[in-house]
Structure formats: structure tokens, C-alpha cells
């Protein structure tokens, strides 16, 4: 028994309508197929570009966050590292600088009072043993009589300028240095707290 009846016979032409295709119709079919293929390729390209752009945007956002975090970490590390150095400078260098600039500051105070009240005698009170540290001749710049007297109530870093009209002005180097140190410490504490708030 043969199986030929189950298979299609391509040897004979079918008797149906024949389709004639002109060159114009063939060209139109080709153009339409080309347009469909081109549009499908364009759509695929746009989808791929959008996917890649989203990926790049996400990576860029992560990189910016990392840079911001790294900058904050670097600033906080810098503050933590510089703080002890600055505080050591305040504790060791500032007292020496303050003592070295005491005579010019004292002279400035005296000359301000001379400008306000005229050439009245001035008494500078210092702690016991500190008289030699002041050069009385330079204090009044030769325009006013200045005398130095020891006062047991004053510490070595304090002095008072007394004028004959009862006005007084006190210079306390230790207090000034302590206020400078406190201001610097407050700055560092505030700056570090601000950075921690930003990174939270």
C-alpha cells in the first residue's frame, strides 16, 4: 500500500487563479517589507537606548552619592585630624604670643584713654613678681606718666590699668586664651555635628 495519497503532489500545477505580479507591485511589496523591517529595528533600538539610559542614570546617581559621601567623610576626617593640632597651638603658642603682645596692647589702651581724658597719670597693677616684665618707659609713649605697682589679688596672666578718674580696665590673658579655645572647640563640635547631620 502506497502512502502517496497522504502527501501533496507538487508535480502538477494547481488549477486555481494565477496571480500576476508586475514590477511596480513587486517593488511596492519590497518597500513595504523594508519599511516594516526598518520600523521594527528602530523600535528595538529605542527600547535598547532607553534601557541603557536608565542604567547609566542609575549608575550616575550612585556615583554622585558616593562622591558626596566621600567628600563628607574626608571633611569629617580632616576636622577630626586638625582639631587636636589647633587646640595644641592654642594651648602652647597662644600664651606666648599673648604675653609678647601685652605691652603693645597695654600701650594702646593707655593711649586711647589719653585721647579721651587727656594726659592723666596711669597706674598699671600686675601680679607679684611681674613688674620686670613691663617696660614702663614704652607704655605711655612719653606722653603720660605711667607707674607699675604689684597687686597680690592678680594672677601672673592678669593686669589692671587704673586711671586717676577712677576708670579701670582689666586684661586677663588666661581668660582671653580660654575664650579663644572655647570658640575653636565650639566651631569644631558644630562643624562635625553638621557633617553628621548631612550624611544621615
HEC assignment per residue over the chain: CCCHHHCCCCCCCCCCCCCCCCHHHHHHHHHHHHHHHHHHHHHHHHHHHHHHHHHHHHHHHHHHHHHHHHHHHHHHHHHHHHHHHHHHHHHHHHHHHHHHCHHHHHHHHHHHHHHHHCCCCEEEEECCCCHHHCCHHHHCCCCCCEEEEECCCCCCCEEEEEECCCCEEEEEHHHHHHHHHHHHHHHHHHHHHHHHHHHC
**Confidence at 200, pLDDT banded by 50, 70, 90:** low
11-29: pLDDT as tens digits: 665 566 666 778 888 888 8
Residue 156 lies in a domain: yes
Q: What is the count of structural domains for the chain? A: 1
Distance CA 95, CA 129 (A): 18
**Residue 195 forms part of a structural domain:** no
The mean pLDDT value for 62-79 works out to 76
Residue 134 lies in a domain: yes
**pLDDT surpasses 80 at 91:** yes
Query: Average pLDDT of 146-169?
Result: 85
Answer yes or no: is 10 within a domain.
no
List Cβ neighbours of 121 (8 Å cut-off, separation of 6 or more): 144, 145, 146, 147, 163, 164
pLDDT in tens, 54-63: 777 778 777 7
Residue 52 lies in a domain: no
Q: Residue 108: which of 179, 171, 172 has the closest Cα?
A: 171
The answer to whether the pTM exceeds 0.85 is no
Cβ count within 10 A of residue 11:
5
Instruction: Sort strands 158-163 and 146-150 into parallel, antiparallel or unpaired.
Output: unpaired
Range of the domain at 133: 101-166
173 in any annotated domain: no
pLDDT of residue 96: 82
In a domain? residue 161 = yes
The per-residue pLDDT for 36 is: 92
Mean pLDDT, rounded, for 26-52: 87
Residue 192 lies in a domain: no
Amino acid at each position: 500500500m502506497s502512502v502517496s495519497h497522504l502527501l501533496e503532489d507538487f508535480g502538477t500545477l494547481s488549477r486555481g487563479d494565477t496571480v500576476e505580479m508586475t514590477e511596480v507591485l513587486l517593488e511596492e511589496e519590497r518597500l513595504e517589507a523594508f519599511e516594516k523591517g526598518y520600523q521594527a529595528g528602530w523600535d528595538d533600538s529605542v527600547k535598547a537606548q532607553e534601557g541603557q539610559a536608565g542604567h547609566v542614570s542609575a549608575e550616575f546617581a550612585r556615583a554622585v552619592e558616593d562622591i558626596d559621601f566621600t567628600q563628607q567623610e574626608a571633611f569629617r576626617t580632616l576636622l577630626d585630624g586638625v582639631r587636636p593640632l589647633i587646640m595644641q597651638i592654642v594651648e602652647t603658642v597662644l600664651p606666648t604670643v599673648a604675653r609678647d603682645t601685652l605691652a603693645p596692647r597695654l600701650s594702646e589702651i593707655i593711649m586711647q584713654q589719653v585721647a579721651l581724658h587727656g594726659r592723666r597719670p596711669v597706674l598699671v597693677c600686675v601680679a607679684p613678681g611681674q613688674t620686670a616684665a613691663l617696660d614702663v618707659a614704652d607704655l605711655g609713649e612719653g606722653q603720660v606718666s605711667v607707674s607699675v605697682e604689684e597687686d597680690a589679688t592678680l594672677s601672673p596672666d592678669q593686669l589692671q590699668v587704673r586711671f586717676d578718674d577712677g576708670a579701670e580696665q582689666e586684661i586677663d590673658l588666661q581668660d582671653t586664651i580660654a575664650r579663644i579655645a572655647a570658640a575653636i572647640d565650639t566651631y569644631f563640635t558644630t562643624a562635625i555635628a553638621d557633617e553628621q547631620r548631612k550624611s544621615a
